[in-house]
Amino acid sequence: MVKLKNLKILFITSEVAPFVKTGGLGDVSSALPQTLAELGHEVRLVVPKYGAVDERRFKIHEIVRLKDIPLHIGDEIELFSVRSSFLAGLKTKVQIYFFDNQKYFGSRKGLYQDIKTKKDYSDNDERYILFCKGIMEMIKKLGWTPDIIHCNDWQTGLIPAYIKTLYADLELLRNTKTVFTIHNLGFQGLFSKESFQKTGLPESVFTEISMNLGSKISFLKAGLLYSDVLTTVSEKYAEEIRSIDELAGSMKPILQKRKSELVGIVNGIDYNIWNPEIDMLITARYSPKDLEKKYENKSALLEFFKLNDNKDKPVIGTISRLTDQKGIDLIQEAIDKILELDLKYVILGQGDKKYHEFFEKVQKKYPEKFAISFGFDDELAHLIEAGADMYLMPSQFEPCGLTQLYSLKYGTVPIVRYTGGLADTVDKVNGKDYSGTGFVFKKYDSDEMLKEIKHALKMYENKTVWARIMKNGMAKDFSWHSSAKKYIELYKKILKED
């Protein structure tokens, strides 16, 4: 019988800040385990040791008994080792295991894609098969049995399938339950039929995880089918992926079938990192009590982008992957109309080539009003959150979204589309009593978006009203505590079952 008071949780993820991060998953994988630990549970993390992990900055130790473990991948034998470090928070120290294999992870700077060609690595199947199967072997040797194995996204999807099939007789995991969190249903880990042979999983799994008449398999689908419970990162997105065909796609039948086992728990944010009162990456720290200081960040931001400083003109910011999911096509469609307005607009992002080419042209056409920085730059992301007046995020779909939550905390009023986590976290400003925290449009349409930008600009003209809206957002609490407690309740619920 599992003791339910202090749980042992193994949290498996493909990225974790500050070691390696490409997006929200990295932030969540850092903050959630730390909060679970603060709540009294023992959490350990596992992440691949990519070449991008800075060995000099972080102390990463060898674990002698977890060195050079052999593993079959198809007909080949690969060796991997597990090394260890700590994710040091203010109140907790969470142990983190680095899954170390030079060929598949250590020799590469990119996580999922080659950083030069921007193309997915052609052996991503082998890389994450090795990771998942290797973790099963690691668990056998660890001498620490988790009550909960918490998997995240397609890169970890095979683990629940291994536990329920190839490793089903593993006595050690008899009482262990698996949770699978969908951070984005759009990334499905699709591979060819041949990839399946390398997993070593029984044929019965093949039919279960194959897609579209069997020509492809999906690692995500394995996670969806074989885990004990499913979660996703907001209630609205949970509802949307159960009901909207375009979002659920071919996963719809599973999501329908497991409807009652799919729980939406909204992400929180780490206020030790994203908080204008203590943020050392920005020019001037501020709180709702001294909002004037925010404008020092605005000046620094405009200077960074070489745009003329004029504090009275509103600045809109966006920090985003430049992909269709994020509504970049709406911005593209409306850009001339946006830049005809009395404002400046700055973007930090990287992604699809078509958008890089497009925004380069826009920058040339409107050098006084628009600027973009291509690439991944954490420090600049903080400065945009602090320096902009408004934050534009017109996503086509958004499982949770974190940057709108950062914006709220930094008094940078979000303009968002009503979808997924954006719908759950931004409250429409009410023109009568000025309650609400942001500007929200429903239809995926560039004119609708433009209307809300204009609406925001109108309100911005009245400084008292605007300060009120900023403060409404800054007063919101999206810390991890209440969401982490929901995960704990869920872990306990599944541990009590059967």
What residues line the site for ligand ADP (CB under 6 A)? 23-24, 27, 319-321, 348-350, 376-378, 381, 400-403
Maximal CA-CA distance, the chain: 69
Cα→Cα distances 90→5, 28, 87, 272, 273, Å: 23, 16, 10, 8, 11
Measured from the CB atom, the residue of 246 and 312 that comes closer to ligand ADP is 246
Measured from the CB atom, the residue of 34 and 320 that comes closer to ligand ADP is 320
Shortest Å distance, C-beta 358 to ligand ADP: 16
Separation of alpha carbons 219 and 159, rounded Å: 9
Task: Tell me the residue type at 78.
Answer: E
Asked if residue 325 lies in contact with residue 395, where contact means CB atoms within 8 angstroms, the answer is: yes
Shortest Å distance, C-beta 75 to ligand ADP: 36
Shortest Å distance, C-beta 400 to ligand ADP: 6
Which one, of 225, 237, 147, lies nearest residue 421 by Cα? 237
Measured from the CB atom, the residue of 195 and 404 that comes closer to ligand ADP is 404
Shortest Å distance, C-beta 476 to ligand ADP: 16
Measured from the CB atom, the residue of 23 and 106 that comes closer to ligand ADP is 23
- Number of C-beta neighbours around residue 82 at 10 A: 22
Measured from the CB atom, the residue of 24 and 48 that comes closer to ligand ADP is 24
Burial annotation 313-327 (CB, 10 A radius, 16+ → b, else e): bbbbbbbbbbbbbbb
Shortest Å distance, C-beta 444 to ligand ADP: 17
From the number of C-beta atoms within 10 Å of its C-beta (0-12, 13-18, 19+), residue 266 rates as buried
Radius of gyration in angstroms for the set of CA atoms belonging to the chain, rounded to a whole number: 23
Shortest Å distance, C-beta 303 to ligand ADP: 19
Measured from the CB atom, the residue of 262 and 348 that comes closer to ligand ADP is 348
The conformation of residue 105, written as its DSSP 8-state character, comes to: I
Shortest Å distance, C-beta 362 to ligand ADP: 17
Which one, of 393, 266, 260, lies nearest residue 319 by Cα? 393
SS3 225: helix
Separation of alpha carbons 443 and 429, rounded Å: 17
Which one, of 498, 493, 492, lies nearest residue 8 by Cα? 492
Measured from the CB atom, the residue of 81 and 403 that comes closer to ligand ADP is 403
* C-beta nearest to ligand ADP: residue: 24
Shortest Å distance, C-beta 20 to ligand ADP: 12
Measured from the CB atom, the residue of 188 and 199 that comes closer to ligand ADP is 188
